[in-house]
Amino acid sequence: MEQLARQGTLLTRRTFLGVVGLVSLAGCSNASSVNGLKASERGAQNLLNSASFFIAHRGSGDNWTEHTMHAYREAVAHGASAVELSVQRTADGHFVCHHDSSLERLCGKDVLIENLTLAELAEYRNDARLWLGPYTPSEPIPRLSQVLEELAGKAILFIEDKTGKNTVELLQALKDSPVGEESVVWKMEATGASHRAAAEANYLTWGYFAPQNFDQIEKLAGEFDAIGIHDSADELVIGRAVSTGKPVIVWEVHTRSQMQSLRAQGVAGMMCSNFPYVTGTPVELADSHDTFASGRRAAGDLPDVLTWKSQPQFLPEQGALRLAGRRKASYGLGSMASLRQGEWVLEAQIRWPTIGDERQIAGLSFGTPNDTPYRAFEKSQRSGFHLQLESSGEASIWQARDNGQKALGRRGQLTFVANQWIPLRITATDTRLNVDVAGQGTLSAEISGPVAAGYLNLLTLHPAGMAVDFKEIRLQQLGA
């Protein structure tokens, strides 16, 4: 499903810490803690009663291969007190954790799990390299019994029978497992009927509403202990859900700005695909660097459109990242965000592998206070700055404002060569931005006061489909 990252409210360091009260990305989060106790120690009912809580969506699939034992373990290790499990059943009656009924997306084989025996299924591995980067290891599809045994007492489990065919058998499997009733929430589409059997078995229930059944929120909400709303919902739909009086959980939450906006609308629960990043705070390191050479996407780094086909191409041997999609795009570096004001230096290298006859434009943005994608020259972009390079030999600095984006400075007569790296160095003081472009000259712009480096974005602006490479992104706080 194509999902556009949405514009959220501005997120300053003070409001972020005040609302969420979370720990740094450098450590583990207690994001679902209430009154000093983790939600996993308090039970599912206490979790749903909490003013603020998080669930690791698919085991936090923005960070680890979704619905794998590795993802579940890492999510819990990073402080997740609740984890979502999607369950399928094999031809010989074994339950396994996998979101899709088919193996096509993650295993490359268009075959239904329900038509394979457990032994046959064991031959396949989940492959999330297209989503997480080329050095992401493949992972086996875990048996539900293994997952329940390992997570018992460690997390509250939101469990869904994805096909809706196995209610009786799955409920029995839960009863026979070491996971107590107080640690399970039965998850299902709100228009289904299995919640009645789950409630009779003493499990709490969560019914979720996708866009096609938003019109039934008021009609069906009363049948569940909590309700879910897809993140495509607008403020009106969210308001209707909150007005039911039921705890509202929104899925999928990928960014801090999205979380902040939902929280302001009265949403308590975040089914979070990017758990360690969303529940953390911007880095406060004196020196931070991109991780492109790892061949793995860093927590918090995301394209502006969240689909597998919209991912950048990692070039780990070169320590580089390539944007080459058929559209204007940005790639956010949430992993390097810093809201500390003062003097700082941002360095980067950019190249065009090929330069055609048409003018090509690329660059990077900075100074944005939240992690909504930077959209150069669009009305929705009301804050931040960007530096852009044009293959014709021009560099310019732009500032986004409520009334549009304004050019703060330009420099021409520069020379850019195909497949040759262009070193950039942006230095910020309280009153000026100074940019050195490949040692060919300095571009300067006056600013009205100190600007934090904020959330960084890599940009490809024109024309769509022409590859742009980035490497050696480094942010250094001066005097820190």
How far, in Å, CA of 25 to CA of 41, rounded?
23
Which is more confident, 322 or 34?
Answer: 322
Contacts of 438 (CB under 8 A, 6+ apart): 414, 416, 422, 423, 424
Instruction: Indicate whether 146 and 189 sit together in one domain.
Output: yes
Instruction: Indicate whether 271 and 354 sit together in one domain.
Output: no
State phi, psi for 308 to the nearest 5 degrees: -60, -35
Among the candidates 217, 243, 278, a domain finishes at 278
Which is more confident, 286 or 209?
Answer: 209
Instruction: Indicate whether 396 and 274 sit together in one domain.
Output: no
Percent of the chain with pLDDT over 70: 91
Instruction: Indicate whether 93 and 213 sit together in one domain.
Output: yes
- Asked, for residue 464, whether it belongs to a domain, the answer is yes
Instruction: Indicate whether 152 and 110 sit together in one domain.
Output: yes
Instruction: Indicate whether 348 and 468 sit together in one domain.
Output: yes
Residue entry with tokens 């943005």:
365
- Taking only the tens place, the pLDDT of each residue in 231-263 is 999 999 999 999 999 999 999 999 999 999 999
Residue 19 has pLDDT above 60, yes or no: no
Residue 148 has pLDDT above 80, yes or no: yes
Mean pLDDT (the chain) is 91
- Asked, for residue 402, whether it belongs to a domain, the answer is yes
In this predicted structure, what is the pLDDT of residue 16?
31
- Taking only the tens place, the pLDDT of each residue in 408-425 is 999 999 999 999 999 999
What count of other Cβ atoms lies within 10 Å of the Cβ of residue 432? 13
Contacts of 345 (CB under 8 A, 6+ apart): 425, 426, 427, 428, 474, 475, 476, 478
Instruction: Indicate whether 17 and 112 sit together in one domain.
Output: yes
Domain count, the chain: 2
DSSP 8-state class, residue 57: G
Closest CA to 402 of 433, 380, 423, 417: 380
Residue 451 has pLDDT above 70, yes or no: yes
- Asked, for residue 3, whether it belongs to a domain, the answer is no
Please, which pLDDT band fits residue 480 given cuts at 50, 70 and 90?
low
**Structural domain boundaries, residue 302:** 287-477
Please, which pLDDT band fits residue 366 given cuts at 50, 70 and 90?
very high
CATH value at residue 337 = 2.60.120.560
**How buried is 191 (Cβ within 10 angstroms: 0-12 exposed, 13-18 middle, 19+ buried)?**
middle
- Asked, for residue 66, whether it belongs to a domain, the answer is yes
Instruction: Indicate whether 51 and 171 sit together in one domain.
Output: yes
Vertex 283 angle, CA 262 and 72, to 5°: 65
Instruction: Indicate whether 174 and 304 sit together in one domain.
Output: no
- Taking only the tens place, the pLDDT of each residue in 154-168 is 999 999 999 999 999
- Taking only the tens place, the pLDDT of each residue in 92-117 is 999 999 999 999 999 999 999 999 99
How far, in Å, CA of 417 to CA of 414, rounded?
10
Which is more confident, 36 or 442?
Answer: 442
Instruction: Indicate whether 201 and 252 sit together in one domain.
Output: yes
Beta bridge partners of 88: 96
Among the candidates 253, 278, 303, a domain finishes at 278
CATH value at residue 77 = 3.20.20.190
Instruction: Indicate whether 267 and 325 sit together in one domain.
Output: no
Among the candidates 227, 251, 278, a domain finishes at 278
Instruction: Indicate whether 255 and 331 sit together in one domain.
Output: no
- Asked, for residue 8, whether it belongs to a domain, the answer is no
Residue 63 has pLDDT above 60, yes or no: yes
- Please report the sign of the dihedral spanned by the C-alpha atoms of residue 294, residue 295, residue 300, residue 303: positive
The mean per-residue pLDDT over the stretch 378-382 comes to 91
Closest CA to 180 of 160, 144, 154, 146: 154
- Asked, for residue 6, whether it belongs to a domain, the answer is no
- Asked, for residue 57, whether it belongs to a domain, the answer is yes
In this predicted structure, what is the pLDDT of residue 404?
87
In this predicted structure, what is the pLDDT of residue 327?
86
What count of other Cβ atoms lies within 10 Å of the Cβ of residue 107? 20
Residue 28 has pLDDT above 80, yes or no: no
- Asked, for residue 2, whether it belongs to a domain, the answer is no
Residue 350 has pLDDT above 50, yes or no: yes
